[in-house]
Amino acid sequence: MNNREALGSWIRRFLMEYLVGERNLARNTQQSYRDAVRLLVVFVAAKTHKKVDELLIADIDADLLRAFLRHIEEKRKCGIASRNQRLAAIHALAGFIAERCPEYLDWCAQLRTVKSKRSAPIPVCYLEKLEIDALLDAPNPATLLGNRDRALLLFMYNSGARADEAAKLCIDDLNLHSGADSTLSSVCLHGKGGKSRICPLWASTTAILRNLVAGRIGKEPVFLSRRLQPLTRFGIHEIVKRYAQAAISRIPDMRKKRIGPHTIRHTTATHLLRAGVDINTIRAWLGHVSINTTNIYAETELQMKAKALGLCAVDSKRSAKHWRDNPGLMSFLAQI
């Protein structure tokens, strides 16, 4: 078997050289591409009755790719967004192979005929002020873990940080002032694609973070587990879900919302918009590359304003008067 025909060698180069060395993609993105390719390889091996290390590039065609996408939707219960992400990763692999091996240009073009599936936009889920207050009040600050969890939730609401950004936050990333200068405190967040941004911190956030990191060195993660290990984004997700359940006992309507770390991020953006902060500042605050990503919050606010306007509308039962029934207008028209 020619090494240029073997699928395995190309996948290794794609994952180890291209994604890491040439593209320098974020670790989470690399893992997402890896998972997509792994699922595809297992599916193709089963359909062609071959071992994984025996697969050839030619074993994958457009029809098999469509069957794979149906498989992950129907059997694995993947949503449309996940389906499209898997497809994008496979398209990237095909493009990588074709760029370096021109005889596979036609093969790549065939795979690219498989298009992503359109889906209805998912409404932004955010918390009202009373709901976010209930979430922030859920941890017990009298305990070490409760104090850490309140600091985490308050920090995420203040900064709009992603779960991964909060998990990677180090003490050196904090710029905490005291006394009258506490309003000058800020944090440096390291987001997607290695991009960094500075976010201001409230005096209340500054105080609780200063207490949390007291006596610790600058290279340590800010948020640690009970075993003094760095929290992961999955751990942060579980913390948010746990306190969301506690908050639901106070505000039952929160049960209708799917609450996770990104819900807090959406809440930050929506509340900033309500406070009159311009959309471009919110884009920089959240670390969005494109303003189009941030515009979803403006659209949400427009819907809320339209709903409020509808509630204030006057219900008039008087029928409109036809212009022909207006003698003054008819006299005016007759003089022209």
Measured CA to CA, the distance from residue 75 to residue 234 in angstroms comes to: 24
Of 262, 266, 271, 283, which is the active-site residue? 262
- Annotation says 192 is catalytic: yes
Give 82's contacts (C-beta < 8 A, 6+ positions apart). 72
Q: What is the CA radius of gyration of the chain?
A: 27
Q: Which of 91, 192, 210, 250 is catalytic?
A: 192
Contact present, 189 and 196 (Cβ < 8 Å): yes
Catalytic, out of 126, 157, 243, 297: 297
Please tell me the distance from the alpha carbon of residue 148 to that of residue 105, in angstroms, as a whole number: 54
Q: How far is CA 230 from the centre of its chain?
A: 21
Helices 233-248 + 129-137 axis angle, to 10 = 110
Q: Which residue in 86, 266, 271, 288 is the catalytic one?
A: 288
For residue 18, the tally of other CB atoms under 10 A from its CB is 19
Is 265 part of the annotated catalytic residue set?
yes
CA separation for the pair 320, 144 (Å, rounded): 68
3-class state of residue 224 by DSSP: strand
The residue annotated as part of the active site, out of 148, 197, 265, 283, is 265
* Count of residues making up the chain: 336
What does the alpha-carbon distance between residue 140 and residue 142 come to, in Å, rounded to a whole number?
5
Alpha-carbon separation of residue 87 from 122, 147, 165, 267, 323 (angstroms): 20, 43, 27, 31, 59
8 Å CB contact between 65 and 86: no
Please say if 162 is a catalytic residue.
yes
Greatest distance between any 2 Cα atoms in the chain: 95
Note if 297 is an active site residue.
yes
Angle between helices 261-274 and 144-159 (to 10 degrees): 50
Q: Of 148, 162, 197, 271, which is the active-site residue? A: 162
Q: Is 262 a catalytic residue?
A: yes
**Any idea which residues carry the catalytic annotation?**
162, 192, 262, 265, 288, 297
